[in-house]
Amino acid sequence: MEIEQERLAAAWRKMMPAVLHEGDEATVNADESDPSGLMITIRTAGHTGFSFDFRCRYVDDREVMVELVDADKYGRTIDERPERVQQLVEDYVRHIHECAQALQSITRA
C-alpha cells in the first residue's frame, strides 16, 4: 500500500467509533513489527471489563487479516474459548473488517 502507516492508524482511530457498538472504545496504533499492520485494542462498554487486543494486517489495499492476540477481563488474561468470549471476538473481528471497508477510499492505490 502507498499510505504511510501512521496516517493509516490515524484514519482508523477516527473511523472505529463509527463501526463499534455505542460505548465501546478502541485504541489503534501502528504495529511496529509490521509496516502493513495495526494493533487494535477494543474495550467493551459497561461493566463487563472485557478488553481485546487484535493484530490487523493489510493483505492488499482493501482486505485485512485479523488475529486475536489477547483477551482480558479487568486487566487479567482470560481463556478465549468460552462461547460468550468467542461471540464477542467474532463481533469485533466483523467490526474491524467493516472499518477496513469504510477506509477503502484512502487505502486504494
**Per-residue pLDDT at 84:** 92
**Per-residue pLDDT at 108:** 79
Task: Examine the pLDDT at 60 and tell me if it is beyond 90.
Answer: no
CA distance 20 to 26: 8
**Per-residue pLDDT at 109:** 58
Its pTM stands at 0.93
Total structural domains in the chain? 1
Sequence-distant (6+) residues with CB within 8 A of 19 are 95, 98, 99, 102
Sequence-distant (6+) residues with CB within 8 A of 91 are none
Structural domain range at position 101: 5-107
Q: What is the CATH number of the domain that holds 30?
A: 3.30.310
8 A C-beta contact, residue 54 and residue 68? yes
**Per-residue pLDDT at 1:** 60
**Per-residue pLDDT at 76:** 95
